[in-house]
A and B are shown apart, each in its own frame.
Chain A
Amino acid sequence: QQQVKQSPQSLIVQKGGIPIINCAYENTAFDYFPWYQQFPGKGPALLIAIRPDVSEKKEGRFTISFNKSAKQFSLHIMDSQPGDSATYFCAASILGNNLFFGTGTRLTVIP
C-alpha cells in the first residue's frame, strides 16, 4: 500500500515556467513532509521540508504548499531552469521515524 501518492509521473515545462508536483497522504499522524531532488546516478538530496503547523514554506525558488484538511502538499518551482531537471520525490513521516516516499516525478525543463 502506497502511503504517499505522487503525481504526475513526469512533467515537461519551458524555462521560466512553474512546475507543480502534487502529493497526497492518508496517515494523519504524519508530521514531517520533505521533498527530495535526485539527479541521475546520485542519491536523493533533501530540498525543502515542511511541518503541518504552517501552510506554506519558501526557500529560494522552491515553495511547499500544505493543505492539512485535504491531506495534500505540493512543490512549486518558480522560474524553473534547465538545471532543475531531475526526479523529485515527496515523502512523509512521523518525525523521527521512517520516511515513506512517493513514486517520483521526472521533471524536464526545456531551455
Chain B
Amino acid sequence: GAGVSQSPSNKVTEKGKDVELRCDPISGHTALYWYRQSLGQGLEFLIYFQGNSAPDKSGLPSDRFSAERTGGSVSTLTIQRTQQEDSAVYLCASIKDRAGNGYTFGSGTRLTVV
C-alpha cells in the first residue's frame, strides 16, 4: 500500500486479556520496527525485523510481549495478560532498508487497558 497501515486504531481491553496489534508495512520495505509511545515518554523502541534475519527483541519490556512477521510483510505484536501500564500508543514503522533515511510510521494503535 501507499503507507504503513495499523489495526485496530483503538483497542480497549480488560486487564489480564491478551491483545494482538497488526501492522502492514509499505510494500517492498524490508525493515519493520515497533515503538511504544507513552504520554511524556517519547517513543520507546520495542522490536525490529530485517528481512529473514532474527529479530532484534532487545526493547521488549517483558516476556508478555512478543512479535512476529509473516512472509517478510505483515507483523503482529502480541501482549499477553495485559496490565494497565501497557496502555499506550503502539506505532509501527517501516523502512526500505536499514541504510535508508527515515522511517515511515503508521498512525498507531491506541491501547487502553482497564
Q: Are B99 and A95 in contact (CB under 8 A)?
A: yes
Residues on B with C-beta less than 8 A from A9 are 40
> B65-98 interface mask toward A, CB cutoff 8 Å, 1 = contact, 0 = none?
0000000000000000000000000010100001
Cross-chain contact of B105 among A41, A45, A49, A97 (Cβ < 8 A): A45
Residues on A with C-beta less than 8 A from B102 are 34, 46, 49
Residues on A with C-beta less than 8 A from B59 are 98
Asked if B111 is at the interface (CB within 8 A of a chain A CB), the reply is: no
Interface class of chain A by DSSP: loop
Q: Are A100 and B45 in contact (CB under 8 A)?
A: yes
Interface size class of A (residues with CB under 8 A): 20 to 34
Task: Flag the segment in A11-19, A59-67, A74-82, A101-109 that touches B.
Answer: A101-109
Cross-chain contact of B43 among A44, A46, A49 (Cβ < 8 A): A44
CA distance A91 to B107 in the complex (A): 18
Q: A44-B43, A89-B42, A104-B42 are in contact. Are A98 and B33 (CB under 8 A)?
A: yes
Residues on B with C-beta less than 8 A from A91 are 43
Q: A43-B91, A44-B105 are in contact. Are A96 and B42 (CB under 8 A)?
A: no
Asked if B62 is at the interface (CB within 8 A of a chain A CB), the reply is: no
Q: Are A98 and B45 in contact (CB under 8 A)?
A: yes
Which positions in A face B, CB cutoff 8 Å?
Answer: 2, 6, 9, 32, 34, 36, 41-46, 49, 89, 91, 95-104
Number of A-B contacts (CB under 8 A): 53
Cross-chain contact of A43 among B41, B45, B106 (Cβ < 8 A): B106
CA distance A97 to B42 in the complex (A): 18
Most buried by B among A6, A9, A43, A104: A43
CA distance A6 to B40 in the complex (A): 11
Across the interface, name the chain A residue whose C-beta is closest to B50: A96
Q: What are 9 A-B residue pairs whose CB atoms fall within 8 Å in the complex?
A: A36-B105, A43-B108, A46-B103, A91-B43, A98-B56, A99-B103, A101-B43, A102-B42, A103-B40
